[in-house]
Amino acid sequence: MHAFRTHTCAALTKADVGATVRLSGWVHRVRDHGGVLFIDLRDHYGMTQVLCDPDSPVFAEVEKVRSEWCIRIDGTVKARDASLINPKIPTGEVEVFVRDLEVLGTADELPLPVFGDQDYPEETRLKYRFLDLRRESLHENIILRSNVVRSIRKRMWDIDFNEFQTPIITASSPEGARDFLVPSRLHPGKFYALPQAPQQFKQLTMVGGFDKYFQIAPCFRDEDPRADRSPTDFYQLDLEMSFVDQQDVFDTIQPVIAGLFEEFGGGRKVDTDWPQISYRDSALWYGTDKPDLRNPIKMQIVSEHFAGSGFAIFAKLLEQDGTEIRAIPAPTGGSRKFCDRMNKFAQEQGLPGMGYIFWRDQGNGMEAAGPLAKNIGPERTEAIRQQLGLEVGDAAFFLGGKPATFEGVAGRARTVIGEELGLVDKDRFAFAWIVDFPMYEADDEGRIDFSHNPFSMPQGGMAALDGDPLEVLGYQYDLACNGYELVSGAIRNHKLEIMYKAFEIAGYGSDEVEKRFGGMVNAFKYGAPPHGGCAAGIDRIVMLLADEANIREVIMFPMNQRAEDLMMGAPSEPTGEQLRDLSLRVIPQD
């Protein structure tokens, strides 16, 4: 007999009744039923009920067993009485009578229970993550993640992509976040960087003559944490292709992503029509570049109905350059109570409020109600209603100013309205490509910098760079799903003269470009092919598939909100010897 088990805790069935078996696992819980002890024994695969009574030679030892002890038992498989069958587990028709016991590992008093789904403080869960991982829901999430990665690899191999590994220790590169720097012992005063993404290496792979590359790539970014973002590292499906345009990339990755969601989505509907929405339209309609299309609400510009109207706040606002009024339709939201609640929401977001109109049935016809309706009159309110396609019982909310000042709040308000009115189809994955991103953005002082990936090809090539930088669009694209960015990519700028010009506009001279990106600049002198690709966030994909709101629920060993590993004690102070080896000195902060 094997030293630890003849079967896993999910393997025994009625066909095994009468057999002598050996199981090993953790004590999930112990129940004492009048001198008969029942133990739910758990391993990675499942659960088996084992029992022991005074007739067992090891009854006294079994009485000592406590939750989360790791034990090995030998026993005889018995059929459960029909009334005691548990249909929820594969082993529910049988139980094992214990005849021998070996304690493989005892457990101290638990800082958090494994049995049950009680909520515990995140700090406790992360410090004792090894215990947290034993809990059913988290354990299943991590297995889901493993299966998703396996499926990704197979799907990529099946469409003739080759998997290559790129360096983990490399040079610093601007990817939109702070680098994690690694001091060099052999080159005192110089530093490597952990890659924010394999961006340059995958482009160099294309220059090296390989046609289709992919990698399950670790990426390292020193970022502020969010519910959908790790503060230190994450994994992505990274891919690149030669001799492709933007649509080729879409046609390649869409079946991979759609297939994953069909395979692991638990029967939820997976949209097959993935619209391509410009960045400008996405911001206008949804207030974000990662819209949740399960929510049918689409915002519209209604400035013409308020220009010169009796509502002085909006009328005067529209006299200023660059301002507009947007409406958020709210089907079925036509009650003063709901409208007041949304107005309060806007105030909580830092705005003075949010104007509204709602339409109600007065018996002798439809009436527009609310302060705005009284100020602008029936003709204008009717024009607004018709433009927005609203009916009796519906409402509309209004925000105005320069879009940059209210767009984010408008997007969040759209989300809240859709949720509260039950308009969001929860049983669905809705995708959209966001395209035509601006290449550049200006700060408050008018300085121009890249707004997205600096290695992207501008639409129109060199000619596009001769005009207003803020009007230049790039061949850059994101894939949004249910309000999250899942994929980001671009067609790359593979022509040196265009690259130099693009960086010059952002304030980087040719010397700086060659210093920072010398490897790629040098490679592009030797016949670089047109190429492009994208990267899909594996953590976010699994988070959506697992229906979790926090990315830490699908990462095996995540950091906390302060980018600390409470289990391993990182970050930690280096020893004096380590600092001397690296020619470093830590300067205490005031």
What digits encode the pLDDT tens for the residues 492-541?
A: 999 999 999 999 999 999 998 888 888 899 999 999 999 999 999 999 99
In order of 381, 492, 494, 523, 530, the CA distances from 527 in angstroms are 61, 14, 9, 8, 10
CATH superfamily of 295-424: GAD-like domain (3.30.1360.30)
Please give the pLDDT value at position 117. 76
Q: Judge whether 26 and 70 are in contact, CB under 8 Å.
A: yes
Residue 174 has pLDDT above 70, yes or no: no
- Burial (CB < 10 A; 0-12, 13-18, 19+), residue 54, is exposed
- Tell me what percent of the residues of the chain surpass a pLDDT of 70: 99
What digits encode the pLDDT tens for the residues 273-320?
A: 999 999 999 999 999 999 999 999 999 999 999 999 988 999 999 999
How high does pLDDT run on average in the chain? 94
Residue 342 has pLDDT above 90, yes or no: yes
What digits encode the pLDDT tens for the residues 364-419?
A: 788 999 889 999 999 999 999 999 999 999 999 999 999 988 999 999 999 999 99
Please give the pLDDT value at position 176. 64
Give the integer Cα–Cα distance in Å for 373 and 134: 58
DSSP secondary structure letter of residue 573: P
Which residues contact residue 463 at a Cβ distance below 8 angstroms, ignoring those fewer than 6 apart?
A: none
Architecture of domain 14-105: Beta Barrel (2.40)
Global pTM reads: 0.92
Residue 106 has pLDDT above 70, yes or no: yes
- Give CA torsion, residues 134, 217, 269, 413, to 10 deg: 90
User: If you count them, how many residues does the chain have?
Assistant: 590
Q: Domain map of the chain by residue range?
A: 14-105, 295-424
DSSP secondary structure letter of residue 352: S
Residue 590 has pLDDT above 80, yes or no: no
DSSP secondary structure letter of residue 491: E
User: Which is nearest to 407 in space by CA: 315, 281, 224?
Assistant: 281
Please give the pLDDT value at position 452. 82
What digits encode the pLDDT tens for the residues 64-80?
A: 999 999 999 999 999 99
Which residues contact residue 382 at a Cβ distance below 8 angstroms, ignoring those fewer than 6 apart?
A: 368
Q: Judge whether 28 and 42 are in contact, CB under 8 Å.
A: yes
User: Which is nearest to 538 in space by CA: 219, 213, 203?
Assistant: 219
Give the integer Cα–Cα distance in Å for 323 and 406: 11
- Give CA torsion, residues 96, 102, 108, 110, to 10 deg: -20
Please give the pLDDT value at position 362. 80
Give the integer Cα–Cα distance in Å for 172 and 26: 46
Give the integer Cα–Cα distance in Å for 363 and 352: 34
Full DSSP string of 426-483: SSEE-EEEEE--BSEEE-TT--EEESS-TTBPBTTGGGGGGS-GGG-BBSEEEEEETT
